[in-house]
Amino acid sequence: MTLGVIVEFIINTLSLGSLYALISLGLVFVFGIMQLVNFAYGEYIMVSAYVLYGLGVFTDLPWPLVFLAAVLTGAIIGFVSEVVAFRPFRGRSLDALLVTSFALSVILQDTVQLSISPRSKAPPFPDFFNQNVTLFGIVTPLRSYLMIGTTVLLLVGLSLLMRGTVLGIAMRGASENFTTARLMGVPANLVISTAFVISGLLAGIVAIFWTARSGAVEPLMGSAPLLVGFIAVVIGGMHSLVGAVVGGFAYAAVANVLSLTLPTSLLSFRDAFMFVIVIMFLVLRPEGLIRGSYAEERVG
Amino acid sequence: MSEPVLDVRDIHVAYGAVKALDGVSLHVLEGELVSLCGVNGAGKSTVLKAIAGVLKPVSGQILLAGQQIAGKVPEQVHRLGVSLVPEGREIFPSLTVAENLRIAAFGTYKAARFAADLEDVFGLFPILKERYRQPGGLLSGGEQQMLAIARGLMSHPTLLMLDEPSLGLSPNMVDSIFELIENLKGRGMTILLVEQNAERALQLADRAYLLSTGRLAFGGRPEEMGDLVDIASVYLGTHGEGSKP
Ligand SMILES: Nc1ncnc2c1ncn2[C@@H]1O[C@H](COP(=O)(O)OP(=O)(O)OP(=O)(O)O)[C@@H](O)[C@H]1O
Ligand SMILES: [Mg+2]
């Protein structure tokens, strides 16, 4: 293996891993607080991607504003879906919340399908996004480095929020023991809303980079990143934010290793190999790479 | 007589179809230490959880300084001045001692007061100062109980409820917990204490209640408890028609 291959592998894994880490973080933020796997998370990404497409094609807004609008859309849809769809069912069973998230997912898909089009559309991106740059002798689109940089900033920001602010400390406490946090005066609604807003914000950012890679938006596009999130979370562990990040990068690393090492004839089975690895994780280490400390307690 | 800090009137509480409290009334006056006794499963924790807002009573009233709090959520009840130090301590294990204490002041935080409150808590529990930057999960059982009580004090409660604070601790540690409770009482704190160690709790208490399978079997002066009720029968769970097999 040449040095070039190694460097290329590292850059690819860092940029793909960054994307996957953000995807799984968005899932785990809500799961950590509510023990809820939010199936509508993929649709947060999809709706944000459509905002990107709509504003990019039909308006002359400058790029930073288009991106900002897409990200804010994610945050708003996260917030609104919590208040409107999830909050009324919160005191009920976890099953009720799961069904709600399924329903929300389908409703959002159908709404976009009927009101816009079931066919895929190509959102425009600024030229610099897909421009190739050569670094360490490796040619990569600039967005790969933007992805890495954005993720580093977000991880630093989120860890400052979670460790350095009272709200963050309260959220970590609530994800370990929700009832006890409330007994100390931490409002349930505040903590849960914040988790959904952060989840939606991450979905909005993911939408930008996911769409830049795929080049298309379509109503059912949310299922692919959702699946990525599931796999990353199984690898890394559902019970900590660090686990989600580790899982995202580990998933990207394994996927890239498979791409490099599988013979061409087997390359189309890469995802099948990936699932075998996931199943092995579920059997051998169901808690994932990173063990969380909080109990399997659900929000009542 | 002044208005009670806490006045619980005929509350009924159920876990789904399982009735846990079948008409319980009790009150706590300002500065009093009231002890709530009963065997395992009698419903002691259920009473505290209903007061704290974790459980919603099916019927009945809970008045805090005259204000109805039955049906309020825990964060609201906490803001109104009730601290529950829960059974089993319920420390946030991955949060540091510092963070555990900071959360405890979440709803009532005042920057001007926080440092002094911390000093106060360190005065009561010097070990917490030593362990300030360590995760709560690494503390010993006794240290965790101290942290749990310290958390309960951070919000300057008008009513402090302790649920089995001596459970599972070494004899030495049990001694220091009871010493501490006495100390808090000496400061004029209003306390509702649930203890398995009824003998020691009754020594400290101004008044006592005895719960038996979801009903009150006794309420009055601690020293009368032995005279009026056959404690042994209650503790064996055979008291009254309310007891179920
Ligand atoms: N979450 C629950 N679901 C169903 N029943 C419960 C639940 N919690 C308690 N119970 C029942 O309610 C009754 C009272 O329980 P509670 O915990 O209040 O008793 P306790 O007096 O605190 O006992 P202990 O001394 O063991 O702490 C018991 O019969 C118990 O089995
Ligand atoms: Mg109990």
**Does residue B148 belong to any structural domain of this protein?**
yes
Residue nearest (by alpha carbon) to ligand 1 atom 1 = B15
Residue A297 has pLDDT above 60, yes or no: no
In chain A, where does DSSP find H-type helix?
A: 3-34, 41-58, 63-81, 94-115, 127-130, 142-164, 166-176, 178-183, 188-214, 223-236, 241-261, 270-284
* Rounded distance between C-alpha atoms, residue A188 and residue A176, angstroms: 13
| Ligand 1 atom showing the smallest separation from residue B87 Cα | 27
Residues of A in contact with B86 (CB under 8 A): 180, 183
From first CA to last CA, the distance across chain A in angstroms is 54
Distance from CA of A187 to the nearest CA of B (A): 6
The answer, yes or no, to whether residue A294 has pLDDT greater than 80, is no
pLDDT in tens, A28-71: 999 999 989 999 999 999 999 999 999 999 999 999 999 999 99
In the predicted model, is pLDDT for residue B176 greater than 70?
yes
> What pLDDT sits at residue A15?
96
- Whether the Cβ atoms of residue B36 and residue B47 lie closer than 8 Å to each other: yes
pLDDT at A255 over 70: yes
Q: For residue B226, what pLDDT band results from cuts at 50, 70 and 90? A: low
Which ligand minimizes its atom distance to the CA of B163? 2
pLDDT at B242 over 50: no
In the predicted model, what is the mean pLDDT of chain A?
Answer: 92
Lowest mean pLDDT among A191-200, A281-290, B129-138: A281-290
Q: How far apart are CA B2 and CA A227, in angstroms?
A: 63
Show the tokens assigned to A298: 């659900």
For the cut 60, the answer to whether the pLDDT of residue A296 exceeds it is: no
Q: Does residue B135 fall inside a structural domain? A: yes
Q: How far is the CA of B41 from the centre of ligand 1 (A)?
A: 5
Question: B114, B139, B156: which is the final residue of a domain?
Answer: B156
Distance from first CA to last CA of chain B, Å, rounded?
Answer: 40
Same domain, B21 and B60: yes
- Confirm whether B115 is domain-assigned: yes
What is the CA angle A182-B197-B139, rounded to 5?
50
Q: What pLDDT sits at residue B161?
A: 98
pLDDT reported for residue B227 = 65
Tell me whether residue B236 is in a domain.
Answer: yes
Query: Does any domain span residue B181?
Result: no
Lookup: tokens for A142: 């600039």
pLDDT, tens digit, 9 for 90 and up, residues B88-118: 999 999 999 999 999 999 988 888 899 999 9
Residue A89, CB-side half-sphere exposure with 13 Å CA sphere? 17
Q: Are residues B205 and B229 in the same domain?
A: yes
Same domain, B1 and B70: yes
Least confident of A73-77, A128-132, A289-293: A289-293
Considering the domain architecture, whether residues B141 and B200 belong to the same structural domain is answered as: no
Confidence of residue A293 (pLDDT cuts 50, 70, 90): low
B227 and B243 share a domain? yes
Asked whether residue B174 is domain-assigned, the answer is no
**How large is the average pLDDT for residues A198-207?**
98
Residue A298 predicted with pLDDT over 80: no
Number of separate domains in chain B: 2
B12 and B68 belong to one structural domain: yes
On whether residue B176 sits in a domain, the answer given is no
Task: State which residues form the domain around B243.
Answer: 1-81+159-164+190-245
Contact B107, B163 (CB under 8 A): no
B70 and B97 in a single domain? The answer is no
B245 pLDDT above the threshold of 50 = no
Same domain, B15 and B27: yes
Residue A73 CA to chain centroid, in angstroms?
A: 15
Domain identity same for B29 and B87 = no
**Whole-angstrom Cα distance, residue A164 to residue B51?**
33
Mean pLDDT rounded to a whole number for chain B: 90
Interchain CB contact of B215 with A (< 8 Å)? no
Inform me whether the pLDDT recorded for A292 exceeds 90.
Answer: no
Express each pLDDT in A119-158 by its tens digit: 999 999 998 988 999 888 888 999 999 999 999 999 999 9
Q: Do B74 and A166 touch (CB under 8 A)?
A: no
Does residue B71 share a domain with residue B91? no
Predicted TM-score (pTM) of this structure? 0.91
Question: Any idea what DSSP says for residue A171?
Answer: H
Q: Is the pLDDT of residue B240 over 50?
A: no
Summarised one tens digit per residue, pLDDT across range A80-90 is: 999 999 999 98
Q: How far is CA A24 from CA A47, A119, A240, A246, in A?
A: 18, 27, 11, 10
State the DSSP code for B52: H
Evaluate whether residue B185 is within a structural domain.
Answer: no
B54 Cα to chain A: minimum distance (Å): 7
Residues in chain A: 300
* pLDDT of A299 over the 80 cut: no
Which of B156, B172, B200 corresponds to the end of one domain? B156
Q: Work out the burial of residue A59: count CB atoms within 10 Å of its CB; fewer than 13 is exposed, 13-18 middle, 19 or more buried.
A: exposed
What is the mean predicted confidence (pLDDT) over A157-173?
Answer: 95
Looking at residue B16, what DSSP letter applies? Answer: T
- B84–A183 C-beta distance less than 8 A: yes
Q: Tell me whether residues A166 and B106 touch, CB distance under 8 A.
A: yes
- CB contact, 8 Å: B22 with chain A? no
Residue B49 and residue B32 share a domain: yes
Q: What is the mean pLDDT of residues B214-240?
A: 69
Q: Which of B156, B172, B202 is the last residue of a domain?
A: B156
CATH number at residue B56: 3.40.50.300
Q: What is the mean pLDDT of residues B44-55?
A: 97
Asked if B58 and B131 sit in the same domain, the reply is no
- Whole-angstrom distance, CA of residue B210 vs CA of residue B38: 6
Instruction: Please give the distance, rounded to the nearest whole angstrom, from the Cα atom of residue B163 to the centre of ligand 2.
Output: 7
